[in-house]
Amino acid sequence: MNFPTITSVTRWLLVVIGCVVLATAQPMSSAATTETPASALPAETIIYPKNAAEPAKLVPSREHDSSRSLVLVVALLLAAGGVWVLVQRRKAGPGGGRGGRKLQIDETRPLGNRQYLVVADYDGKKFLLGVTPGRIQMLTPLEVSAAEARETKA
C-alpha cells in the first residue's frame, strides 16, 4: 500500500490543528508558582502584587472566551479548506491537477536476473523497452489500437 508523501497543504493543515490545540488549551494555574500551596489558602483569598497602591478589581470579561471561539472557528474553516483542496487534488488524478503525467509504465514482465521487458506509454505513444541493471534500450515502438486510443482520450 502506497502512502502519499506529506504535501505542503497537509503540512499547513497539521500546523492549523496544532494552533487550535494550543489556543484551546487551559492555562496553568498561577497559584502553583507561589510558595504557599494552593490547598493551604482559603478559597476566597486573592493575592495582589507587592507595592500595589490599590488592589485591582476583577471585572468578568467575555472577550477571552469570544476570541478563543473565533480562533477555533477560523481554524476549523482553514482545516475544512485544506481537506477540500486534498480531495480536489485526489480527484484530478496522478498529476495532482497539473495536467496529468505524460509518461506511464503500462506493463512490466520479468525475464530473470534483474532483466525486464517494459511497455512504456508517453503522450499516447507506446514503446517496448529492455531494462537490465546497466542499461535501458528501446526495442521497438508499438502500434496503439483504435480501442486504446479512444480509451486514453476519455
Give the pLDDT of residue 32.
47
User: Are 20 and 76 in contact, with CB atoms under 8 Å apart?
Assistant: yes
Whether residue 127 is predicted with pLDDT greater than 60 in this model: the reply is yes
Give the pLDDT of residue 34.
47
Which among 124, 125, 123, 129 is positioned nearest to 107, based on CA atoms?
Answer: 129
Give the pLDDT of residue 1.
46
Report the half-sphere exposure of 81 (CA within 13 A, side-chain side): 9
Give the pLDDT of residue 133.
93
Residue with cell 497539521: 14
* Global pTM value: 0.36
Distance CA 151, CA 154 (A): 5
Boundaries of every domain in the chain: 8-92, 103-153
Which comes out higher in pLDDT, residue 115 or 16?
115
Whether residue 132 is predicted with pLDDT greater than 70 in this model: the reply is yes
Residue with cell 489556543: 23
Q: What does the pLDDT look like over 26-69, one tens digit per residue?
A: 665 544 454 555 556 566 776 767 776 665 566 555 555 677 78
Paired with 43 in beta bridges are none
